[in-house]
Structures are given as C-alpha cells and as structure tokens.
Structure 1
C-alpha cells in the first residue's frame, strides 16, 4: 500500500468517527434564543433596559446644579468633553432611592441630540432571558412605570419589567425640567 493510500484511509477513518460523534450533538431546533438587556434596580424593584438603548454605564460624575429646575433634574456634568444632563430616574417616577448617591449608577442615553444620564439605584449587569419567557404585560407594575414598560421577561419565578429608556425620553414631562413654582 502506498503512503498516499494509507493517508487517505486514515482520513476516511477520522471522517467516519467525526460523523458518528456528530450524531450526538443537539439539533438546531433545540437551541434556546435569548433576549439581552441591562438589569438595574429602582426603589428595590428589578428592571431591565433594552441593550440597544443604553450607550454606557457610569458612576455618577460630579455635576453642577442648575437653578430653577425640578428636583429630579440633578444638573449637568462634563463627561469626556461633552455636556450631559444628569436626571434622577427614581425622583422622576416619584420613588425613593435606596442607595447612597455615591453608590448609584448612570444609564446613559445617547440618541440624536439627547445625551442624558439616568441615575438608578444599582446596575445588575447584562441579563439574558429566554425569548419564550416574554410577557406582553408586566404583572404588578407600578403605575408610574407602566407608560415606559415594554412587557416583561419571566425567569426563575422572577419577573423583570422591560423599561424603555427611549419611551421615557419621548415623554414631554421628562423633557420639561423647568420648575414652574
């Protein structure tokens, strides 16, 4: 037998073994699809923001208060040479922050002309939910949050409402920060 024939036979054996082992792999239809977002807490409740709506997560930077604005408009900050408004999401939703300000985090919206940081109590990192765990409406959702919710995901007997930062930014009340009294 020539060296080329021996090599060909060896390759054929490898191919047969690989094909036999591949039969044990799961079929494509057994794969679970996931939706991902950024988990965070407000007033002790867990939420998730769509991944494409959060441009970055920051510690709350030093900011300058602006006179004549509502209390939840914390001020403006210079973030890498850009002027960012710092808004307290818990204050806007009439909730109480559960963390000290220095421990809170910002979810940053950078969409068109809007560059805003929303303070949240805690960021829980990237969260992955099976797509089949999606609910059209989040059960037991607070009325202040409901207009900004886009359903919810159920995982391990826990419900995470999807809070759309873009829906929040489209609300005229959110953009109207001047104090009228």
Structure 2
C-alpha cells in the first residue's frame, strides 16, 4: 500500500466491491409489499387489526364487576390510575368462551375520549401479510363478527379477518350495556 496513493487505494477498493455486487439483489428485483398488524383469536376466529388501532396489549387484569350490566361487560379495572372498562369480545359476539383466563389478553383501544379494553381469547403478536393476500371476502361472513370486519388476509392456508375497532365503537349495540 505504500506504493499507491490513498485515491488509488479507494479506486481499487471500489472496483473490488463492484465485482462482488453481482450476487446482491438489485432494486429491479421484485420487492414484496407487506402489511403488519396485531393477530388475535376471538370465538375461534383468527383476526388481525392495525397496530395503530391498539394502544397496548395486557394480560387480563382483576376487574370490579358492575351491577345491572350485560354479561359481556366484565367490569372496570384500574390500569396505571385510569379506569379501563373491560368488554369480553367473545361473549359480546355471542360465542362460548373456551379459553382459560391465563391465556386471555386485553386489547386496549384508545381513540379520543374512548378508552376500553377488549378481552380476546389469545394474542399472537405482530403478523405480517403480503398486500397481495388481501381479499374483501372474509371467513366471518354470516357471523356476528362480520359487522366489524373489513376483508381478510390469507397466510399459510389460514384466513385472518381484518378487524376494525372503529366499526365496533360506532355500533349502537356496543353501548347498550344495561341488562
């Protein structure tokens, strides 16, 4: 290296790098666009919702029952000094609960003044889907979940219903909690 200048060394290094670049993918290669969301199970249906729709995921906290409410209102829980109404989404949809409490999770939805916890059967974490696997059709059609679903994604022969918490929050039946 003593015989070559710094510029010549950089030029040689650049040429060696370009010679090795043939094995790398190029920008012309097809890039698969993907969509990511939080996957969960409710009433035997695999669902996914946008990460922006969920403020956090919790284990099911202890709740104080409320008198005179429907059975799908589990009560309220104190979560970091805030009262979080807990709604059992499986029971709200008319399904029979089949999971143990230790497996259940709470999806916290916070939109404006709305702050609620939706109890689901299980949460699978982030799920990634090819945008090409999206379909407006859903396996939940004809089911009470269908009112809150907007299409589905297909992954490994499993259909994941695209759950929209906004549609649930805007449903007047959701606020009819008196027994």
Corresponding residue number in structure 1 for 2:99: 99
Corresponding residue number in structure 1 for 2:36: 36
Structure 2 stretches of 5 or more lacking a match?
A: none
Distance of aligned partners of 1:62 and 1:2 in 2 relative to their CA distance in 1, 3 Å threshold:
closer
Distance 2:80 2:92 in 1: 26
TM-score, normalised by the number of residues in structure 1: 0.91
Contact 2:57 2:108 in 1 (8 A): yes
Distance 2:166 2:19 in 1: 50
Deviation at 1:103, TM superposition (A): 2.5
Distance 1:156 1:175 in 2: 37
Distance 1:88 1:140 in 2: 18
Deviation at 1:25, TM superposition (A): 2.2
Deviation at 1:44, TM superposition (A): 2.4
Q: Describe how 1:2-81 pairs up with structure 2 within 5 A.
A: 5-28=4-27, 29-81=29-81
Query: Once the two structures are superposed, what CA deviation does each residue of 1:35-87 show, in whole Å capped at 9, x if it has no partner?
Result: 01111111222111111101100011111111111110110111000011000
**Paired residues, number:** 178
Deviation at 1:142, TM superposition (A): 4.4
Deviation at 1:18, TM superposition (A): 1.8
Distance 1:167 1:27 in 2: 42
Which consecutive aligned stretches of 4+ in structure 1 deviate over 6 angstroms post-superposition? Answer: none
Corresponding residue number in structure 2 for 1:109: 109
Distance 1:105 1:60 in 2: 5
C-alpha RMSD of matched pairs (Å):
1.7
Distance 2:140 2:80 in 1: 40
Distance 2:6 2:75 in 1: 73
Contact 2:140 2:161 in 1 (8 A): no
- Are residue 128 (structure 1) and residue 158 (structure 2) matched? no
Deviation at 1:155, TM superposition (A): 1.3
Distance 1:167 1:134 in 2: 19
Distance of aligned partners of 1:175 and 1:20 in 2 relative to their CA distance in 1, 3 Å threshold:
farther
TM-score, normalised by the number of residues in structure 2: 0.92
